[in-house]
Structure 1
């Protein structure tokens, strides 16, 4: 195979990677186009970095979905471990269903926030750049600067809400998994109900916290302004 043939194959691979990166890139299309353009000459290096970064972005929905699945799996195991024992009143099927419902609500809100923040109009870097641009403009830009600051602050508040939901779900998943192992241990080791009650109370406190946060802030819509 000649050098020309190899060059053509390299270019084709670069174009294919560029298309994949562009399609996988959320948010600002200009940033996506730039990332895709880098793939054409540098695809062996840039394509894995760009695609992996999209999958591993902090607060993303896949991680939250995984946390919700961990909660659901641990609850099922915990209910099974309690069945027919003195611990059954601590984690009944009805209680597990209530917990799962709150977790599903929290995961859905997180996914909504995450999708919203991937839109071009919610790009924090672009909003910060706009503030800096207006500040460099000097006098006569008071109202424009206040509006730009408000937009940037709203984006930051939305990101903080999204990230807080993600952390809360991850922490609850860890706690429910610990509850599951404690219930299994208690069943086979013959531990007392009192030894399990503390962690059950902590689980309920976290679940109630999730519900309160959702009820306080409600759903999120790109058409609704955020008050400051």
Structure 2
């Protein structure tokens, strides 16, 4: 095979990698210009740049808390329905009625929806924490100060606050799912073993405390996008 043939094959491989990199960048929410630049770099440098560009989103994904809010919400829903079924027609029915379970499910759905909204927002290139931090460092290195630096710092802090809210919601939903599953198990045990109402009541009280905490957090912030205007 001649050098010309090798060059053609190298170019074709670079073009194929460029297409893959562009699509992956757009799927991650990168701006069109940024995705195009990354793809253009891939044509001559594909053996080096393609692996970096194609795995760039994995680090961001690993920063998210373990578990998925949607999965946690589904766990809560399933455990609640089994718990309601277990205590139906028993002395525990007043502790977890169908109406109470429906209210818990509604609050969990609100929290899961807010988490999904925040997560989608933070996937966008304009909410990239690393890029915001790099911008702050760039301004500081350039010696600029005053309003430009303050604005860059504010942007970075806003992103960090949004990430903290998203992560807090995910942890709260996971913990609530574990607690509701424990409640379900306790109700089944109480039904067949005749456990005391006090033992079940303690878990129910804890579940309600967690649910009210979720609702209070959502109401306090008014959802993901209504914390008021950002100061500049």
Q: TM-score range by the shorter chain?
A: 0.7 to 0.9
Please state how far the C-alpha of 1:221 moved relative to its aligned partner: 2.9
The 1:46–1:137 alpha-carbon spacing in structure 2 relative to 1, beyond 3 Å, is: closer
The 1:193/1:19 distance shift into structure 2, 3 A limit, reads farther
1:89 alignment partner, SS class: coil
Structure 2 counterpart SS, 1:221: coil
Residue 53 of structure 2 corresponds to residue 50 of structure 1:
yes
* 1:45-94: CA deviation from partner (whole Å, max 9, x where unpaired): 999998898xxx54786655xx0000000000000001000000000000
Aligned residues of 1:59 and 1:114 also touching (Cα < 8 A):
no
**Contact 1:24–1:51 (CA under 8 A) maintained in structure 2:** yes
1:13-35 Cα distance to aligned partner (Å, 9 max, x none): 9977875665455x335776688
Residue in 1 that maps onto 2:82: 77
1:172–1:203 contact (8 Å) kept in structure 2: yes
Which structure 1 segments of 5+ residues have no match?
Answer: none
**TM-score, length-normalised on structure 1?**
0.77
Larger displacement relative to structure 2 (199-208 or 34-43): 34-43
C-alpha distance 11-172 of structure 1, shift in aligned 2 (>3 A)? farther
Q: Secondary structure at the match of 2:55?
A: helix
Give the aligned CA root-mean-square deviation in angstroms.
4.0
Aligned partners of 1:71, 1:44: CA distance in 2, in Å? Answer: 46
Q: Match of 2:40?
A: 37
Equivalent residue runs for 1:103-182 within 5 Å: 103-139=108-144, 142-182=146-186
Are the structure 2 counterparts of residues 203 and 116 from structure 1 closer, same or farther at C-alpha, using a change threshold of 3 Å? same
Do the aligned residues in 2 keep the contact of 1:59 with 1:162 (CA within 8 Å)?
no
**Corresponding residue pairs, total:** 221
The 8 Å contact of residues 59 and 163 in structure 1, kept in 2 or not, is answered as no
Q: Distance in 2 between matches of 1:75 and 1:9?
A: 59
Structure 1 position 225, deviation (Å): 3.5
In structure 2, distance between residues paired with 1:203 and 1:71:
11
**1:60–1:114 CA contact under 8 A, matched in 2:** no
Q: Distance in 2 between matches of 1:78 and 1:22?
A: 48
- Counterpart of 2:11 in structure 1 is 11
- The 8 Å contact of residues 17 and 39 in structure 1, kept in 2 or not, is answered as yes
Shift in CA distance, 147/197, structure 1 to aligned 2, threshold 3 Å: same
